[in-house]
Amino acid sequence: MTLPALGVVIVSFNSSDVILDCLESLLAARDVRLLISVVDNDSTDDTVTVLKDWAAGRSGYAAPTDVPFSWDATPKPVTLYGPGDRLPAEGHCITLIETGVNGGFAAGVNRGLSHLAGLPELDRFWVLNPDSVVAPGAARAFATASAGFGLMGGRLIYLADTSDRIQLDGGYVKWTTGVTGNVNQFKPHDTTPPPDPTALDFITGASMVVSRAFYEAVGPMREDYFLYYEEVDWALRRGALPLAYCPEAFVYHRAGTAIGSPSIGRPASPFSLYFKHRGRMLFLRRFRPWSLPIGLVYSLYKAGQLAAKGHGLEAWTIMAGSLNLPPPSSVRSRLSPEARALAFGRTAS
Q: What is the pLDDT of residue 147?
A: 86
Distance (Å, whole) CA 187 – CA 197: 18
Q: Is the Cα torsion angle 309, 310, 312, 314 positive or negative in sign?
A: negative
Q: What is the pLDDT of residue 23?
A: 98
User: What length is written for the chain?
Assistant: 349
Domains in the chain with CATH codes: 5-253 (3.90.550.60), 270-345 (no CATH)
Q: In the chain, which stretches have pLDDT less than 70? A: 1, 161-162, 256-267, 346-349
Q: What digits encode the pLDDT tens for the residues 68-79?
A: 999 999 999 999
Establish how many alpha carbons lie within 13 A of residue 158's alpha carbon, considering only the half-sphere containing its beta carbon: 19
Q: What is the pLDDT of residue 349?
A: 45
User: Burial of 9 by CB count in 10 Å (0-12 exposed, 13-18 middle, 19+ buried)?
Assistant: buried
Ranges of H-type helices in 309-347:
312-322, 329-332, 337-345
3-state secondary structure of 79: coil
Distance (Å, whole) CA 11 – CA 105: 7
3-state secondary structure of 346: coil
Q: What is the pLDDT of residue 35?
A: 98
3-state secondary structure of 237: coil
Q: Is the Cα torsion angle 64, 67, 73, 79 positive or negative in sign?
A: negative
